[in-house]
Chain A
Amino acid sequence: MQKKAWTRDRSESILLGGGTILVFLLLWQLIVMLSGADFATPAEVFIYIFQHIVEPIGPYSIIGHVGWSLSRVAVGYLLAAVSGIVIGLAMAQWDVTNAIISPIFNILRPIPPIGWAPLAILWFGVDEAAKYFIIFIGAFVPFTMNTYVGANRVDPKLVDAALMLGTNPGQLFRKITFPAIVPQIFAGAQVALTNAWMTVLGAEMLRSTEGAGWVILKGMEMANIAQIISGMLVIGLTGFAIATIMRELEKKLIRWNARGR
């Protein structure tokens, strides 16, 4: 009985949600066709995407551009992960480190990562290093903050109990601190990934010769609406895909945590 109700609810969701999307696409198609506005129809966008999976836009196909963007994200992100986690742990472990780092951190933190782009371009030019640097900045802050907060939130009762029962520092880290911090770091890793993906687009739009951000900016310069919207959809899809992969990874790696969003 309950199962039946559930499936009915579900099919209603699909019907209503799918219906809205269909109506939206249909209206879009009709309005553009009837008004004769200089705008791409959804059909054109669809065709454009499929065409350019193999056909190049500028130097590369869509897949090539996304690949470039992702490779930039990967480098900046990994650098940020390593340094953010190390610095976050150091800040939580020693009050003195925290007292030294946090004021400087607090001055720099409110500047949006994309605001670093002009400086990065001045310093590193058109090199890949400029993009890595901006992405690094975008991902570094959430990694550091979350590691720090997570390490500070370890339940002192648990630590005291473990110490009383005679654990050595190594065991304490393995059994108590580490399992408590990792979920928090993963939360930061998600935020950092979203930030990094957004930042790479900004960086590519400001100055580059390839990448997903370049695709939409070139589309703007050539007033090619189909290219812009295709680019936006591919960007959205890629962002969604990497966030999903990250979440699945989190579920697999840290089964002890019931956060499971």
Chain B
Amino acid sequence: MNCTKSLNKVIRLKLISAGSILGFFLIWWLITDLLRETPNPLFPSPILVFQSFWEKLFNPRPDGQVLGVHILNSLMVVGLGYLTGIAVGIPFGILMGWFKKFDKMIKPLFDIVRTIPPIAWIPIFILWLGIGLVAKSAIVFLTVFIASVLNSYTGITNVNQVHIWVAQTFGASNWKTLWKVGIPTAAPMICTGLKIAFNTAWTSLVGAELLGATRGLGYMIQMARMYSRTDLVIVGMLTIGVIGLILSAGLDILEQALTRGKY
């Protein structure tokens, strides 16, 4: 009795949620299209946005590339920056957490660099490396590097001292202790870091593409703004959101697969 009641409630709430999304689009449509004599180009209707999305799949105007090319380009930049960032950042953070001398040497400098938000690095990277793939990947790299150093560092410094003593009592070398005790303990934290790093990477990517690029999703919305194509701006924003969501869901699955049974 109680069970069916709560089930009913869940279904009812799901229905309300569905209704909410429907209502959202309906109101959007009403105020931008249906209740207006002439549509205002600053507030495109959802139907127009969908049409623009469809058209942008095949039509390279006004910025010279179809949507697919922009997506691919953004993915390439973020992929390159992200993979190199974690490949360098995680070992760096682990070494920093494990070797106290190294930690004391590097941490203050690292802390100074860390306070500068990734977006503030964009001008200097553009000046150094131009507006190509390398500059944008470098910005993403830096963002990811900082995030993954922080998480692997925290993960390693949280290792239970008793576990280290046990390993030492059994005669493990320092490196072996790190390999068998330190890294497995830090693994879940490092995996969380992978996801945090991705979210910051995605933000930096959009920032970098807005400020200096010749293709990519950020460039697309920036161009759409210059041509006052609000519909295309919204298409670009939603694409950025959806792709970010898919990639971060993928990382969730990866995290679960990697750290299974280790908690």
Binding site for B on A (CB under 8 A): 12-13, 16-21, 24, 95-96, 98-104, 107-119, 121-123, 194, 197-198, 201-202, 205-206, 213, 216-217, 219-220, 223, 225, 228-229, 231-233, 235-237, 239-240
Query: A118 contacts which of B18, B24, B118, B210 (Cβ < 8 Å)?
Result: B210
Is there an interface contact between B206 and A112, defined as CB atoms closer than 8 Å? Answer: yes
| B9 contact set on A, CB distance < 8 A | 95
| B42 contact set on A, CB distance < 8 A | 122-123
* Between-chain CB contacts (< 8 Å), 11 pairs: A17-B107, A20-B105, A98-B13, A109-B241, A114-B207, A118-B233, A201-B117, A205-B119, A206-B210, A206-B211, A225-B124
CB distance from A131 to the nearest CB of B (A): 14
A121 to B226 Cα, complex, angstroms? 10
Q: Which range holds the interface residue count of chain B?
A: 35 or more
Does B17 touch A at the CB level, under 8 Å?
yes
Binding site for A on B (CB under 8 A): 9, 13-14, 16-18, 20-21, 24, 42, 101, 104-109, 112, 115-124, 126-127, 202-203, 206-207, 210-211, 218, 221-222, 224-225, 228, 230, 233-234, 236-238, 240-242, 244-245, 248
Instruction: Give the number of residue pairs across the A-B interface with Cβ within 8 Å.
Output: 155
Is there an interface contact between A198 and B115, defined as CB atoms closer than 8 Å? Answer: no
Is there an interface contact between B117 and A198, defined as CB atoms closer than 8 Å? Answer: yes
Smallest CB-CB separation from B13: which chain A residue? A99
A220-B127 contact, Cβ under 8 Å, with A103-B17, A112-B206, A235-B117: yes
Which 7 residue pairs spanning A and B have beta carbons closest together? A17-B108, A220-B123, A118-B225, A236-B115, A236-B116, A112-B203, A111-B241
A11 to B105 Cα, complex, angstroms? 12
Q: Is the interface of B mostly helix, strand, loop or mixed?
A: helix
| B207 contact set on A, CB distance < 8 A | 112, 114, 202
Is there an interface contact between B244 and A217, defined as CB atoms closer than 8 Å? Answer: no
| B225 contact set on A, CB distance < 8 A | 118-119, 121-122
CB distance from B78 to the nearest CB of A (A): 12
Q: Is the interface of A mostly helix, strand, loop or mixed?
A: helix
